[in-house]
A and B are shown apart, each in its own frame.
Chain A
Amino acid sequence: MLAPLREPFMQRALAEVVLLGAAGGAIGCWVVLYGLSYATESLAHSIFPGLVLAAIAGVPLLLGATPAIVLAALAIALGARVTGVGREGAIAVVVTTMFGLGALLALSPRSPPGIESLLFGDVFGVTAADVGTAAAFAALALLALRLLHGRLLVAGFDRGAAPALGVSPALAEAALLVLLAAGIAIAVQGLGNLLVVAVFVGPAAAARRLSERMLPTMLLAAGLAALAGVAGLYLSYYAGTAGGASVALAIVAVYLLVLPLGRLRAARFGRALAPAGTTIG
């Protein structure tokens, strides 16, 4: 059990998944509650061209991911305003365009080898600086969630009544999306473009089945995400499976393990709770 802990690359990978799991799990509870699971998956895929460009230019991936995610978010916001398109349509168009562009760049002759690590992550390749970034993000995200808690709660509860209670639903949702985008841009390094969504949706969806209050749900989701991250890395270490994929699969396994517990609890309290818009991708 302790042998992997003596490896510096494993220490960094464990720190990365625990930090990002805690922050991603907590943010994810709002993502699931606000029905933004599909948007999360799409935002993650949309940053692919940014990642490829950063890899070609040889700069940190975060420098490519950040402008790509801002561009995707703006394009979705603008597209959603077009009559007859709507948010779902805008997301679908933007994500396909961006991912297609990324694939085009990735398959170009100038593209460096190892581009698949952008898709599936390279959690064992994270540097001490990456862990530092993850730690700073986790601290900031948890502080932001603490400050915004009441307002996020009001805006999601009844959007129409929120302004009369002194809360702007658009601002609350925008703040959540900024946190989410930053989280995706940072976590994509370890988990990859296709798998990063798991950390934001899986643990939150699992925790939602176990608790009927927001704060315990967030604590549970953060804990489950960190636990699944560690379990995934151990699996990868001993079974020789891909790191990012092992973490994503461990998260899905946690969700599946929790399902019967949620049913049991719902039956005990005489009512099933079906979280709206819960998907796992």
Chain B
Amino acid sequence: MPAESLIEAAGLAAGYDGAPAISGIDFSLREGQRLALLGSNGGGKTTLLRAILGELRPLAGTLAVRASCGTVPQTEHSRLDYPVSALDVATMGTLADLAWWRRPGRREREAAARALDRVGLADLAGETFGKLSGGQRQRVLIARALVQDARVLLLDEPFSGLDRPSSKRLEALIAELAGEGRGIAIATHDLEQARACDLVLCLAGRQVACGPPADVLADVGVLEATYGGAIVELPGPGGGRAILPPHHHHPGHGH
């Protein structure tokens, strides 16, 4: 039986105050798939995530979200001076299912503790959120989404500011969660992270391309259109590609 489609967009446009910030979005996210939303800042990655969450109504086209979504925002948006523990933050994921007059009780805190255990942070449940490392904070926010019993996780720039070991650990956790059948959408501007996903959707205000990373990321034209700059081949045994933003272009020098 083929994996169930969790999110499907066709000709989707979304934006603010009636003006589209993204348009021409066509993709399907299935169970167990990781989708990278690749683009530069302002390319529309967060707008697409907000549309999936239902915070922005489609201005054109259709967007079918067939599963519960949990959001994992950038940890810089959370207040680090806030008087809460990792467990308190994970417990926030239980509120959506509670009537407004009810406070999270023992059952809710146990669910939050299980989710923290699931992301490998059981030992740090009592630690103040702001004292955790960037990677640990990201995992606490993932635990909060898991508490919501989300079948789709929407991660906004989860790797930004993380060192290599933390990135690797987070990548492994995301792969595990996808392995359990969850659909995962990751907004990123990092080509390496995009390469580790099953699908890549390139965004530059509109959809530039969407497909498996081997196809999409091999096309220099797609990357240039996505980043609005020039792609240069890096010399040396490791090789690889770097992106030069437009303001680095020097007329008459060529690349």
Contacts and interface: CB of A to CB of B under 8 A. Distances in A.
Contact of A214 (B78, B79, B83, B103): B83
Contact of B83 (A147, A217, A271): A217
Interface in B169-194: none
Contacts of B101: 147
B53 interface: yes
A154 B92 contact: yes
Contacts of B55: 163-164
A33 B83 contact: yes
A195 B144 CA distance: 42
Contacts of B128: 212
A129 B103 CA distance: 33
B216 to A, nearest CB: 28
Contacts of B148: 165
Interface in A138-154: 146-147, 149-151, 153-154
A161 interface: yes
A147 B88 contact: no
Interface in B129-155: 131, 144, 148
B84 interface: yes
Question: Which interface residue of A147, A158, A217, A276 has the most chain B CB atoms within 10 A?
Answer: A158
B93 interface: yes
Given A146-B103, A161-B73, A165-B93, A153 B79 contact: no
Contacts of A214: 83-84, 88
A123 to B, nearest CB: 31
Interface string B55-96: 100000000000001110100011101111100110111011
Given A165-B92, A166-B95, A167-B95, A208 B83 contact: yes
Interface residues of B, number: 31
A59 to B, nearest CB: 35
B211 interface: no
The binding surface of chain A is classed by DSSP as helix
Contact of A212 (B79, B83, B103): B83
B95 A158 contact: no
Interface in B195-246: none
Nearest to A146: B103
B81 A273 contact: yes
Given A157-B84, A212-B128, A214-B84, A150 B77 contact: no
A274 interface: yes
A268 interface: no
B23 to A, nearest CB: 23
B95 A150 contact: yes
Contact of B81 (A147, A164, A217, A276): A276
A164 B69 CA distance: 8
Contacts of A163: 53, 55
Contact of B77 (A158, A212, A276): A158
A276 B78 CA distance: 13
A76 B131 CA distance: 36
Contacts of B53: 163-164
Contacts of A149: 103
A275 B81 contact: yes
Contacts of B79: 156-158, 276
Nearest to A214: B83
Contacts of B98: 150
B77 A166 contact: no
Given A154-B95, A157-B79, A158-B79, 13 more contacts: A146-B103, A147-B101, A153-B92, A160-B77, A161-B73, A161-B77, A164-B55, A164-B69, A164-B71, A165-B92, A165-B95, A212-B83, A212-B128
Q: Which 10 A-B pairs have the closest CB atoms?
A: A166-B96, A164-B71, A161-B73, A158-B78, A214-B83, A154-B92, A212-B128, A147-B101, A158-B77, A212-B83
